[in-house]
Structure 1
Amino acid sequence: MYIGLGTVKGESGKAENVRARKVLMLDFDKKDYPELKTAQDFTALVKTKIPELFIHMVIDSGRGYHLYVSINRCVDIKRVAAANKALAEITGADEKATLQTQLARIPTSFNLKDKDNRKPVNIIVNALEQSPTTFKAYHLQKIEGIIERIMRNEKNLENASPLPSKKYEGTSSYYCCECMICQGVDEGERNFALGRITKYLQHAKGYTLENALKTIQEWNRKCRPPKSPIVVESDFRSYWDGNYMLLGCNLSDAKDQAILNRYCNKYECNSVFEETENSQLNQIIQRICKLGKSIQSQTCG
């Protein structure tokens, strides 16, 4: 037994008989994402693609998860289905499950695809039941605006040529961060660099979110290869809002420390380092290097 996502005005559930829809559904099959284990993993996946999208309901379908987004009642079924398909394309959900006549499994029933191992269909999250006084559906136009922005950003990335990497030769308070911003980083270093640069722009430089995001997207185009701007923006916002301590010089993770060391230059950095047995020597060498540069600059001038 199944239920249609839309009401119908005839005896059959054919497309021409569908009357109205109040939900969009994203259908994820567990076998397509073996690395994801829980409903929270799948909602987090959607958030990496569309950070601002609120999921109103999550249902365990037995072999996957159905994520529902509530919209105001709409009788333009083709328009609803088009928006649903676009969301599926962006998030990696099953695009075949975006039909005008789409059916869904009923909670408390059983998924009988595997007759020898029937699986219950259960509600995991229900925002309407949990917060009925604050529950708010989307206007479909709002969803379409989000989709249009994401598609435009993706198109801009495809059309934008990579920015050239430039060797950083300056002196700054956070030499490593300025070096990564100037040069870009390689695959395997991008997530670490993104977190560190974000916190550098936020706390050390005092950037606004908008200016920091612009800098981050330009930096991403220097990386080898660049990441999706949607993913970069999502990760950036997570780092920006999170209480992360990412600007230290001595890191507990050996892999992160190795990455940092590739962009570090203690003698051109104005940051205060943690005390070590060689800290005084390092500071003396640092001053000598800076003095030498100053003398050279004055002589050349």
Structure 2
Amino acid sequence: MEYLMAEPTAPDLLFNGLPGLIEVREIDANGGAKSRYFDGLAQFKAYTPPSDKNVYIGMFTRKKVKNEKVRGDKAGCQRTNVLWADYDNTTLNDVRRRIQTVRLPEPSVFVNSGNGIHAYWLLNSSAYEGVEDVLKAIATNTGADVKAAEIARVMRLPGTYNVKGSTPKRCQVIKQSDDRYPIELFQHLFGTSYSSSETIDELVTSKMACIRLIAKGVEKGKRNFALGKITAYTKQQGMSRKKAYGIVMSWNKNNKPMKPANELQDEFNRFWDSDYKYLGCKFTNPDLERINKELCPIGECEFHATQSVQILNDESASLLDNEFFKSTIYPQIKGLHIALYSIVATARTIDRSHLAELMKRHTKDKLFMNAIDELRKLGYIDIEKGNKSRGVAERLTVSAKSNYGRGYTPVSIILTKLYVAKELNDNQYKLLALLKSYSYGKSIVYPTIEKLAVKLGIAERSVTRLLVDLEQQLYIKRTYKPFDNGKTKLIIHLLF
């Protein structure tokens, strides 16, 4: 039996820690329905569903009422660990496109229901209040079945068969993860329930979506992480220590619970006096990455292209196929090719129109169209044709060939933003990416001017001028190591 999430411990993801009964509803070919209630996970895991009936499971547990009939309606609903959406007669790619268009995070689980796709977002804590408002907002904004957006809803149980038609179709999990999200993230995104006891103008007007969300307060277990981000943000904005701490004290009033005043001051001073670099969007530490995901409203962040180069790092990077840097390829491609591939590689799949918007170009721009076609011919991206009559847009995706056993070079997504904003010209952007390819995770590289010139396809004197410009802009620093024979070795320190 392949239960939801398809793992031996899978039911725990849906029902672990929830009070109440688990409802399974069996519906026969004539529409006759029978509900079964399981008192806990152990009973549910022992259940063997029939193969000749449509079998559904309640997303909310049901209330246990002594000596009374259990109710399967709203009044009988108790708690849930998940949000969901039901998409009829469509494909996984189409559902992903709809979800990405409204900047929703990636669902934790996708299920092929037999006649459509079900999407599930696991919550980081159980919920009741506000769930139905969020479900309706998700359905309305992504074109899901609004009838399924109610808390008493039962969804088809994976591992069973959809027997509505003449040929039974298997309902099965097609993608799963243990990614969890706070319900407040969805409430914030759709404006269904988002308020705070104290509004902090310096934070809620930030271009960083995580800072705006954190401004409303966080729960215990996330306070230190959020405090570090706010401290780093206020410091980056040029605020004095006194003003920054005043903002932190105001923010602490929104936390549930508030952090003790002595701990707050000690932690603030520690973050202020240290080189705290957690303004990035990705973390190698799994605990920090988990919290960061929960506090990051996907797609709402307005990365400003003039952001200080000193805070850029590989934590906000797209992965560039190392084959790009071959001497037979790199001289022929432009910065536009790198930027296009960088954005597609970051998104994994993206509408052509959305890509053009991010590149600040018209979809019919000749250079833009040619660069896409050339990347396709080189085998780095694939194009999924759209269908205008069905309202399905053309999509660009990273190809299977890309990074096939060759390794990759992390290129900061903000470098790409700087290029798109014309803060970096074509050769500057290409040179920075090329220098990164030599670094292997280090901040010092030793390529010769001759080698850089060959890779870029330009004259050596042009490479030297580029290095001078990049050093003046604080992207790099050059030093030289003398040898006994009178020659010197160029050392390039990467500051990005």
Bin the TM-score by the shorter chain. 0.3 to 0.5
TM-score normalised according to structure 1 size: 0.46
Q: Which has the higher contact order (CA 8 A, sep 6+)?
A: 1
TM-score normalised according to structure 2 size: 0.29
